[in-house]
Structure 1
Amino acid sequence: MTIHSEITLGPVSLRITNLDQSISFYRDLLGLTVLEQTGNTATLGAKMTPLVVLEEQKNSRRLAPNSVAGLYHFAILLPSRKELGFVIRNLIANNVDLGQGDHLVSEAFYLSDPDGNGIEIYADRPRETWSYEANGDVKMTTDPVDWQSMLVEAGEEDWYGMPADTVMGHVHFHVKSLEAGRAFYVDTLGFEVATDASRMKALFVAAGGYHHHIGMNLWAGADAPKAPGDAVGLDYWTLVYPSASVLEKAVAAIDASLYQVERTEDAVYVTDDAGITARLVTK
């Protein structure tokens, strides 16, 4: 089964230790809007598009980076280079440490939230400018970003936070093995391999010819242990199908596999062998 070309990604749910602190980070530094707040949880997004669900668990442990399977980063995709420039301008003004990478297909910046959850914010280059290896893999690399020209594009205009057409672009995980990752994300969910970077201990898969919706790596070590439930980190990521019938076909394929499906009133959940849970929904 090949995954439907019109799937999109929805919000990630994160375990964090201090809700007020995390809301301030995502709202004031990244420009997200608080969409809902109840008790120890809050949902933030770009205008009305939910991107991050925060659940406060005060006694959660913060683990050493790259020590367990689970979230490496989630990646927020802005609609233009100029909009990315606004965010970068704000982060620089607030002395936030940033990593960076020009990946040919996109320009990206990297940071962590107060609990160490990895975040990428990026803008894509036009798809017609992407190039490909002889085997069809999307060509990606990591070069320095020309961030100065990005700030010039942003200029001195007022910033009103992340725009409504900001979306969750991709998610990237530490997995136990690339073979197990391929078995779940390709053979079961139906994503197609976009770039096989196994020499770098990584694999990138996608739907509809995108450069990647899912990244996976072995940078926490082969057979990395699952993240414990009392640690900060990812609770689930969300995969959005275009219709109920498309979702049911996907669930039938999962039911025929080794993975267990859990149904609730409004979603289907399935967890890979690394302990990473996907929440499957429709638009």
Structure 2
Amino acid sequence: MTTPVHPNTRIGHVHLKVSDLDRAIGFYSGVLGFELMQRYGTQAAFLSAGGYHHHIGLNTWESLGSGPAPRHHPGLYHTAFLYPDRASLGDALRRVLEAGLDLEGAADHGVSEAIYLSDPDGNGVELYRDRAPEDWPRDADAQLSMSNSPLDLQKLLSEAPPRS
């Protein structure tokens, strides 16, 4: 048996190949609200939440002008962005809808609530918030019991903070 990774290990950032850097920045910064921290010439950019050096890297080094990756081939399924609370997730949903983007799904997984869409290059994006671990559903044997139930988007939107 292998030794598990240290429990404080986290995914630090995602770095995506995109076909149009400005269009990708428009999505991740203009729609989702991540801050542009640095551009690396015309081929790469780094974005973050809260002033971190970067949570998202975008580049066109191998993908400038290309189309999306084939849908039914191995590769990235989605990138998931964890919001701190339900109000923040509601704000993210409002941003997406105000941008006129289509949702591909929304679900209450018991442990979390999530909305799904794609970025302009067809990369899957999950926007979600976790419930507190003590609220996670468990079966009779105390094993985690995740689900895939509908998420009430109107209720989620109603919990978004007012715009200032």
| Structure 2: gaps (5+ residues) | none
Please state if 1:146 is matched with 2:149. Answer: no
- Paired position in structure 1 for 2:129: 123
What is the alpha-carbon distance in structure 2 between the residues aligned to residue 137 and residue 53 of structure 1? 36
Larger Rg: 1
Aligned to 1:51: 55
Q: Report what 1:19 is aligned to.
A: 21
Instruction: Describe the shift of the 1:92–1:68 C-alpha distance in structure 2 as closer, same or farther (beyond 3 A).
Output: same
Partner of 1:187: none
Post-superposition shift, 1:43? 0.7
1:41 maps to 2:44: yes
78, 81, 85: which one pairs with 1:80? 85
Alpha-carbon shift at residue 141 of structure 1 (Å): 1.1
* RMSD across aligned positions (CA): 1.5
Distance in 2 (alpha carbons) for counterparts of 1:38 and 1:117? 21
User: For the residues of structure 1 that align with 2:157 and 2:46, how far apart are their CA atoms?
Assistant: 29
Q: Secondary structure at the match of 2:69?
A: coil
- Paired with 1:150 and 1:59, the residues of 2 have a C-alpha distance of 36
The structure richer in strand per residue is: 1
Percent identical among aligned pairs is 38
Where does 1:149-164 land on structure 2 (aligned, <5 Å)? 149-158=155-164
The whole-number CA distance in structure 1 between the counterparts of 2:35 and 2:148 is 31
Q: State the alpha-carbon separation in 2 of the partners of residues 126 and 147 from structure 1.
A: 20
In the comparison of the two structures, how many residue pairs are matched? Answer: 157
Q: How does 1:194-205 map to 2 (within 5 A)?
A: none
The aligned residue for residue 69 of structure 1 is: 74
Whole-angstrom distance in 1 between the partners of 2:132 and 2:114: 14
Q: Normalising by structure 2, report the TM-score.
A: 0.89
Q: Is the 8 A contact 2:34 2:47 kept in 1?
A: yes
